[in-house]
Amino acid sequence: MWEAIGHALALTGSMTWKILWALVLGFLLSALVQAVVRRSTVVRLLGDDRPRTLAVAAGLGAASSSCSYAAVALARSLFRKGADFTAAMAFQIASTNLVVELGVILALLLGWQFTVAEFIGGPVMIIALAVVFRLLLRRRARGRRLLDAARTQAERGRAGSMEGHAAMDMSVQRDGSLATRALSGEAFTAVSHVFVMEWAAIWRDLVVGLLVAGAIGAWVPDAFWQDVFLSGDPTTAALWGPIVGPLVAVVSFVCSIGNVPLAVVLWTGGISFGGVVAFVFADLIILPILAIYRRYYGMRVAVLLAGSLWVTAAVAGYVVELIFGVTGLTPDRADAHLPDEGVSWNYTTWLNIVFLLVAAVMVWRFVRTGGLPMLRSMGGAPEQDGSPP
């Protein structure tokens, strides 16, 4: 038994070491953008569901929090302040499925094709969701009443998770050009605050995801997954993968970038390429988040979101599977393996050292500029502004 546990922990440690520098880099880039983009600007730009607005929502979401719980809470906050529901959901999807850190980690653990698939499939999922909402909500009186009921429920301000974090606007408030604000001392402080708070929001999901992936990779034989994913027949597997992938995500309880290590296990186990994409994109319909949707918008809208996000994640998986199959860019599963090299003196180690030093500077600035009280208000309540006491 102890040998099996040691094997699982070794896999977890190897995966953590391989992606550590990428996580720091991704959160740093996200913090830089969030430091100069004010929350009020986001709300103002998301007032309808036109294609241009949804593109803006996707871009702003991609530069926002990669924590699924914080993204869901922020989307509800935007909706309460006047943002269009479809635009708010597009922002929410992009916040977890189009972020830089996700793309970098996908490339490190699975290959560059998965990163390209992320940035192709993410917009496809948003477009598909907009079409579904237009058909079900905008063109029917019953759908419009459902939206009104969702807004009424949202206004009640029932708490979900990471409410305080979602309510915090840590961007630079001084006037001036974008460059002037970005190069100011206030920007350095804002970046450090966003950076540390993002880590505080995501670390639990990340640790759980790595531990789950390490355990499954060490203990569950590939034959089990091959049966689940029907990998004996490539055509059947390609059709089945995007359907079953989100279902695995729902019951995994792991969301955001924390599900990428498990995606590696599923890919080596036999799920289709499109199935991996659909699994990664289904981070917003895990069981705890479905419960939050019910509190935020009511049961009927929660069911609508669950079904719509599942369907659109599957659509994104099918589109990616088709595009990569036609172009011959589908990655070779034989090249995939769970990282088990451990720690050695290579470029990964040097990058980890450099970016850990950068992270230390961010933490130092965070502590020196009164950031610690913010950590105590991360849970918060929807009515709070999230600022430290």
Q: What does the pLDDT look like over 317-351, one tens digit per residue?
A: 999 999 999 999 999 887 776 666 666 777 788 99
Judge whether residue 117 has pLDDT over 60. Answer: yes
Tokens of 301: 């809208």
- 10 Å CB burial of residue 349 (0-12, 13-18, 19+) is middle
> For residues 17 and 105, is the Cβ–Cβ distance under 8 A?
no
Cα angle 136-141-144, degrees, rounded to a multiple of 5: 65
More confidently predicted of 219 and 84: 84
Least confident residue range of 132-146, 162-176, 356-370: 162-176
Task: Give which of 384, 387, 385 is closest to 375, Cα–Cα.
Answer: 387
Looking at residue 257, the DSSP 8-state letter turns out to be G
Looking up tokens 């998986």 gives: 317
Residues 189-242 pLDDT 10s = 888 888 888 787 777 777 777 777 777 767 777 788 888 899 888 899 999 999
pLDDT of residue 249: 87
**What value does the mean pLDDT take over residues 115-142?**
90
Predicted TM-score (pTM) of this structure = 0.81
Least confident residue range of 96-105, 118-127, 277-286: 96-105
Judge whether residue 259 has pLDDT over 90. Answer: no
Q: List Cβ neighbours of 190 (8 Å cut-off, separation of 6 or more).
A: 31, 34, 35, 36, 170, 171, 172
